[in-house]
Amino acid sequence: MTAMQHSWPETLRDCGLRVTRQRLAVLDAVAEHPHQPAEAIHAEVARRLPEITVQSVYTVLHDLTAHQLLRRFDPPGSAACYETRTHDNHHHAICTQCGRIEDVDCVHGEAPCLEAPAGLGMEVEVADVVFRGICRNCAAQNAGEHKAAQPV
Amino acid sequence: MTAMQHSWPETLRDCGLRVTRQRLAVLDAVAEHPHQPAEAIHAEVARRLPEITVQSVYTVLHDLTAHQLLRRFDPPGSAACYETRTHDNHHHAICTQCGRIEDVDCVHGEAPCLEAPAGLGMEVEVADVVFRGICRNCAAQNAGEHKAAQPV
DNA sequence: CGCAAATTATGAGTAATTCATAATTAGGGC
DNA sequence: GCCCTAATTATGAATTACTCATAATTTGCG
């Protein structure tokens, strides 16, 4: 779980990227709290690096995503979020009530994990799956609200 | 192909919605050109209904989507688009180069079409699949550009 | 240590969408 | 067919999530 395949500085240099405090802080923040949008990442990073701007966080996220150090995920209807699991073609489950995102391991492991249907006018490279439903927390809360009555 | 399961006015009324020119025009536009963003739908609708505003198109799209007369699809990285196929749990294929979207029939037909992995802290209701790749057009174009000059 | 290229900060700008409120319209009742 | 009220649409402003241009700073090689 807490395994570190490589140190961030090393990984950055391997991609031909310079090692900066900003990038390290963003990588740490995303690793520790995956599936957070840029604003939240900025808030977290700013606790260590108060001078960092949101725009820089956007730039860093963009660059690191382009170099596959981060993976970007666009939940339908809300801001993009980021994660450090980049090379395992995993999928996502979203709670339609609270928006919480969970990783879902891909059974195949390699992209594309689903066969593209024949006759499609497209050479399929990746298949992304998004599961949607109600998470345990929300389900429990909903059940509880049956007896309690709580106006928002 | 050109089968009309119901007339739009009837379908609207069945949902308890009023029949308005704006709604009919949006439904027709989306039916004829699926996977278009709100701006494009507005442009098309405005040819028949020049006084309609973009904001009204947004409102109409929102209401019709809420009542399942339309389905909204969020392509990662670009504007939401809409379609009239709402109850068949079909999926989508996106060309990563030109952005063109194609429908992909679901083999199962019913949601969820994929089994949720055991141990997931979520009651899965739907599984949406997005295939990404290069469409025939773009592939052909790319092949042609090999002989022509192509500096990045 | 110093320089050039890469990176970050600053500030403005944009696209897609939402919100509040006023004007209009659809459709049931008379 | 006409009225009335609730539903819908128009108008205009505001917001969110970014992107872009440019100036200041910093990294890492020599």
Give per-residue pLDDT as tens, A88-146. Answer: 889 999 999 999 999 998 766 566 667 777 778 888 898 999 999 999 989 998 887 76
* A48: confidence class by pLDDT, cuts 50, 70, 90: very high
The CATH topology of domain A88-152 is Dna Ligase; domain 1 (3.30.1490)
Contact yes or no for B120 and A131 at CB 8 A: yes
Which one of A91-100, B19-28, B82-91 scores highest in mean pLDDT?
Answer: B19-28
Q: What pLDDT is recorded for position A110? A: 64
Query: Within a 13 Å sphere around the CA of A68, how many CA atoms are in the beta-carbon half?
Result: 8
Q: Say which nucleotide is closest to residue B56, CA to C1' distance.
A: D9
Quote the CA–CA distance of B141 and B143 in Å, as a whole number: 5
Token pair listed for A29? 């923040």
Q: What is the mean pLDDT of residues A52-73?
A: 97
Please report how the helices B38-46 and B21-32 are oriented relative to each other, as an axis angle in degrees rounded to 10: 110
End-to-end CA distance of chain B: 42
Q: Which contacts of A33-37 are long-range, i.e. CB under 8 A and separated by 24 or more positions? A: A34/A81, A34/A82, A34/A83, A34/A84, A34/A85, A34/A103, A35/A73, A35/A81, A35/A82, A35/A83, A35/A101, A36/A81, A36/A82, A37/A78, A37/A79, A37/A80, A37/A81
Contact yes or no for B96 and A123 at CB 8 A: no
Q: Note the CATH architecture for domain B1-86.
A: Orthogonal Bundle (1.10)
- Residue A133 in contact with partner chain B when CB distance is under 8 A: yes
Pick the CATH number of A1-87 from 3.90.1150.10, 2.40.30.10, 1.10.1740.10, 1.10.10.10: 1.10.10.10
Listed in order, the ranges of chain B carrying CATH 1.10.10.10 are: 1-86
Listed in order, the ranges of chain A carrying CATH 3.30.1490 are: 88-152
Contact yes or no for A107 and B120 at CB 8 A: no
Q: Which residue is nearest to nucleotide D20 (CA to C1')?
A: A55
Token pair listed for B82? 């809409």
Give per-residue pLDDT as tens, B34-54. Answer: 999 999 999 999 999 999 999
Q: Note the CATH architecture for domain B88-116+127-152.
A: 2-Layer Sandwich (3.30)
Mean confidence (pLDDT) of chain A: 89
Convert B62-95 to b/e letters by CB count within 10 Å (16 or more is b): ebbeeeebbbbbbbeeeeebbbeebeebbbbbbb
Exposed/middle/buried for residue B114 (C-beta within 10 Å: 0-12, 13-18, 19+): buried
Query: Within a 13 Å sphere around the CA of A5, how many CA atoms are in the beta-carbon half?
Result: 8
Quote the CA–CA distance of B14 and B147 in Å, as a whole number: 58
**With a 7 Å cutoff on the CB, does B22 touch strand D?**
yes
A29 CA – C15 C1', rounded, Å: 28
pLDDT at B113 over 90: no
Quote the CA–CA distance of B73 and B100 in Å, as a whole number: 13
Listed in order, the ranges of chain A carrying CATH 1.10.10.10 are: 1-87
Quote the CA–CA distance of B19 and B53 in Å, as a whole number: 18
Amino acid at site B46? A
Question: Quick one: CA dihedral A64, A66, A68, A71, positive or negative?
Answer: positive
* A7: confidence class by pLDDT, cuts 50, 70, 90: very high
